[in-house]
Structure 1
Amino acid sequence: MKRIFTILILLMCISISQAQSKKDLILEVDGLRSKLREAETALSESKREERIASAKVESYEAQVNELKETNSNLLKNLNSFTEASNKRSDHINSTLESLVQKEAQLRVINDALSSHDSITLAVFTQFKQTLGSDPKITVSNGAVAVVMDNSYIFGENSKNFKVQDKAEAIIAKIGSILKANPTMDIQIVSNSNLVESKDNKLNNWEIGTQQAAAIARILESKYQIEPKRIVATGKSELGLYSIETATEIIVQPRFYEFFKLVKESMK
């Protein structure tokens, strides 16, 4: 009996021990399940945060790429602007250099014109002071013109081309002024329209040319005026003077030298 009681107690202890172990296991399982749920929740939260982080990373990468592209475009634009600015600067420098050259050229031309004008004015003044109010002295287009009536120079005979003694006095004064201004060219234009014939124009041209040549010979032989400076021209009734017969001594700077100077300065 005692043995049976002992066995029963042993069985009860075993049963109680098993019951306690089962309860502990259930509690442990519940605890593990709770931890598993927490772990799953944490994992889900981690995945969500990972997605958010990935989205942010992609956004940042997109922004970085956009910034890189913008920066690249800005650099290209800056390079283009710098290149264009350099070209404009080169063009401006070239233009300024060209303007400086043109200014220098214009200065040379202006100085030459001023020099010619000064010489012309000086010759005009010399004629006025030396010849007085008679004969007629004018300035036009950079040239000085001394106009004398042919009847005074050659006499009343309209066909005559020999200079009278009284006219040589004025021609002597003109010759001295021309000799003192060796850079001036001389044109002698004699106009004749009094001869009447079947061919007036031809006769008057010939007479006018002979009269102009007669004055040219005097300037050359008596007053040592270089013949290459002189051009003698005859006019008829279609010439410079349609009414009176007259001779015009035109004195002007050597414009071919001026044009040569302009041509050289424009190179």
Structure 2
Amino acid sequence: MRIFVSLIMLSIVLTSCVSKKKFAEVENKYKDTKAMLDNTAMKLNVCQDEKKSMKASYEDQIKTLKQTNAALINTQGDLTTLTQKGAENLEKTLESMKEKDLQIKTMRDAINRKDSVTLALVTSLKSAVGNMDDEDIQINVEKGVVFVSISDKLLFGSGQYQLTERAKEVLGKVAKVIKAKPDFEFMVEGHTDNVPISRECFEDNWDLSTKRATSVVRVLQNEYEVDPSRMVAAGRGEYIPLESNDDKLGRARNRRTKIIVLPKLDQFYNMIEQGMKKL
């Protein structure tokens, strides 16, 4: 552009026939053109500066985006690791819960088998004893344990610990069932009322209740050949009454002998262990 303007000026100088008016017009055009060029140059410089600034800004943004992208990739990797660990932990938890469920089922099955055996034992005892007066003999289950409660009047005379013949007959029927259940042990408990014993051969009701329990155990061993290692004789005295001792009827009910049939704990644990081995 400047070369063009110079040529114009040169033409004006070389051509003498050009009028001053024409020269002035050309000069004004030159000034206008120069001003326009200066303005354009200034705008160009501004644009170049803006370009540099924008380029620097874009480079910073690109750098930031790259860093953000790298961080996201790392975070994704961490999340993937955490997700894998979470899945593994969840799987372990589910396996543990499954194992616990199997253990609970095994123990429940063992308890059910024990309860079935207990029920069968009750049925056998009731069938063996037959139709006896409920006040004289009771066969029940308490907390998973079978017991036979026999009244004092059926077993012993007043203040005595020697068994009656009727008592021996009943014990023979009980012994038959017990001998057929080798997985059970049993304890014979003697109970009295709270009236102090006045006979010289007894020190107190403790002594009376213990001697009565021992008499039952001896008959079961000596006359019915029950294994003595399966039996326990215990005297409870007057301290676990069924009813109040304030009246005659209550005292009569409190004078009793209980045969408590106990499942061998090792047999029960064996049932559980056998079930656990199948897991």
TM-score scaled by length of structure 1: 0.73
1:179 corresponds in structure 2 to 179
2:144 corresponds in structure 1 to 142
RMSD: 3.5
Deviation per CA, 1:139-182, whole angstroms, max 9, x where unpaired?
1111111111122122x242233x22222221111111111111
Give the partner amino acid of 1:196.
Answer: I
Contact 1:184–1:253 under 8 Å retained in 2:
yes
Between Structure 1 and Structure 2, which shows a larger proportion of helix residues?
Answer: 1
1:3 corresponds in structure 2 to none
Identity %: 25
Cα drift, residue 249 of structure 1: 0.9
The verdict on how the C-alpha distance between 1:160 and 1:200 changes in structure 2, with shifts beyond 3 A counting, is closer
2:233 corresponds in structure 1 to 232
Gaps of 5+ in 2: 1-10, 16-26, 246-250
Contact 1:192–1:236 under 8 Å retained in 2:
yes
1:12 corresponds in structure 2 to none
Give the partner amino acid of 1:90.
Answer: E
**Worse-superposed segment, 59-68 or 187-196:** 187-196
1:251 corresponds in structure 2 to 261
3-state secondary structure, aligned to 1:148? strand
The structure number with the bigger radius of gyration is: 1
CA separation in 2, counterparts of 1:142 and 1:201? 35
CA separation in 1, counterparts of 2:149 and 2:114? 21
Correspondence 1:99 to 2:104: no
Contact 1:204–1:236 under 8 Å retained in 2:
yes
Deviation per CA, 1:102-144, whole angstroms, max 9, x where unpaired?
1122112111111111111111111122213422111111111
- Counting only pairs closer than 5 Å after superposition, residues 39-188 of structure 1 correspond to structure 2 as 47-134=45-132, 135-154=137-156, 156-161=157-162, 163-188=163-188
Cα drift, residue 218 of structure 1: 2.5
CA separation in 1, counterparts of 2:199 and 2:51? 121
3-state secondary structure, aligned to 1:182? coil
Contact 2:202–2:208 under 8 Å retained in 1:
no
TM-score scaled by length of structure 2: 0.70
CA separation in 2, counterparts of 1:117 and 1:86? 46
Contact 2:128–2:173 under 8 Å retained in 1:
yes
Contact 1:201–1:237 under 8 Å retained in 2:
no
3-state secondary structure, aligned to 2:257? strand
3-state secondary structure, aligned to 1:232? strand
Deviation per CA, 1:214-255, whole angstroms, max 9, x where unpaired?
222222334443323212111222234551211111113224
Give the partner amino acid of 2:191.
Answer: N
2:8 corresponds in structure 1 to none
- Counting only pairs closer than 5 Å after superposition, residues 20-35 of structure 1 correspond to structure 2 as 23=14
Matched length: 238
Give the partner amino acid of 1:189.
Answer: E
CA separation in 1, counterparts of 2:271 and 2:86? 33
3-state secondary structure, aligned to 1:139? strand
CA separation in 2, counterparts of 1:56 and 1:236? 105
3-state secondary structure, aligned to 1:239? coil
3-state secondary structure, aligned to 1:237? coil
